Structure 1
Amino acid sequence: MSEMTIRKAQLSDALPLCGLSEQLGYPAEERLMRERLSRIMQDTDHAVFVMEHETYGVVGWVHVHGRHLLESDPFAEIGGLVVDQRCQRMGIGKQLMRSCEQWAREAGYGIVRVRSGAQRTDAHAFYKGIGYEHVKAQQVFNLNLNANR
């Protein structure tokens, strides 16, 4: 079995993070990913973990961050999770999520929340399978501030 390790992301991971994000349906240029990752890495209320495979390189990433809202106690939220399609169903996603849970405990959060699009039924089964409870359904609305300038 090939060796895999979880570690915090580094700026040099920007290109593989782009490839993985594209598999999830969110394409990004390396320059933009590097800028985003740099900004996130500077904020102690955020963490990005990667799974590194000795042969394939970075095969998964997860982003967790603290959320502080007026209407609820603070919680940690998963900003994104992706595992390379070649390596799915090997326990990588679960291990990455457990790293987020440990980070959240150490940061003093009592809850980890993850949002998943309605169409991602496989992801829903995954989260339920690792102990997450479905608590609500919602719709998301955006206003493009750059449109019609």
Structure 2
Amino acid sequence: MIEIRACTPDDAVAVSTLLGELGYIVSIRQATEHVRELSKTGADPIFLAAADGQILGLLAAHLCRMLQYATPVMRVTALVVDRRARRRGVGKLLMERAEQIGSAAGCEFVELTSAMDRAEAHAFYRSIGYEPNSLRFRKPLVRQYPR
């Protein structure tokens, strides 16, 4: 049985590995710090899907207020399922948890972005009721200060 549970800093190895499947290079140290920081307010839920002691997937989200909407927005900021666990309902369970959290927070919808080349992800999102409705633009910024 697949369990959806809150992510903790102790899950940093799994977080780093799963984000690597999306092409993000996040060290275990960074993952630990990010999970710890994002977990402080409750506005940035992070969930893991697990079965038989194995981490199968991750979902991170952000609850935010936007000037143009009367209610909060639940934005999924990361969703990844281990390649070996895909097509087993893991992603759907993670998205359902995000929808439950969003609904409980008074959100009218959940939104997410997906890279244009992720056709399989787009098909998945459509299969669970999501439709494209906007185009995201992005411009890299030059760092003004050292990290």
Are 2:4 and 1:6 aligned? yes
User: How many angstroms apart in 2 are the aligned matches of 1:119 and 1:67?
Assistant: 27
User: How many angstroms apart in 1 are the aligned matches of 2:76 and 2:118?
Assistant: 15
Task: Give the aligned partner of residue 36 of structure 1.
Answer: 34
- Identity over aligned pairs, percent: 30
Task: Give the aligned partner of residue 142 of structure 2.
Answer: 144
Which of the residues 39, 54, 68 maps onto 2:65?
68
Which of the residues 105, 113, 116 maps onto 2:114?
116
Name the SS of the counterpart of 2:65 in structure 1. strand
Gaps of 5+ in 2: none
Alignment of 1:74-93 (within 5 A): 74-93=72-91
Q: Deviations over 1:88-142 (max 9, x none)?
A: 0111000000000001111111110011111111111110110011101232112
- Equivalent residue letter for 1:18: S
Alignment TM-score, normalising by the size of structure 2? 0.92
Task: Give the aligned partner of residue 51 of structure 1.
Answer: 49
User: How many angstroms apart in 1 are the aligned matches of 2:105 and 2:47?
Assistant: 15
C-alpha RMSD of the superposition: 1.5
Gaps of 5+ in 1: none
- Equivalent residue letter for 1:140: R
Deviates more, 1:81-90 or 1:39-48: 39-48
- Equivalent residue letter for 2:21: Q
Once the 2 structures are TM-superposed, how far is the Cα of residue 65 of structure 1 from its aligned partner? 1.0
Higher strand share: 1
User: How many angstroms apart in 2 are the aligned matches of 1:34 and 1:82?
Assistant: 18
Q: 1:38 to 1:103 in 2, by over 3 A?
A: same
- Equivalent residue letter for 1:112: V
Alignment TM-score, normalising by the size of structure 1? 0.91
Name the SS of the counterpart of 1:131 in structure 2. coil
User: How many angstroms apart in 2 are the aligned matches of 1:12 and 1:147?
Assistant: 30
- Equivalent residue letter for 1:66: L
Once the 2 structures are TM-superposed, how far is the Cα of residue 147 of structure 1 from its aligned partner? 7.6
Q: Deviations over 1:53-94 (max 9, x none)?
A: 205x11100011112222334311001000000010111000
Equivalent residue pairs, number: 145
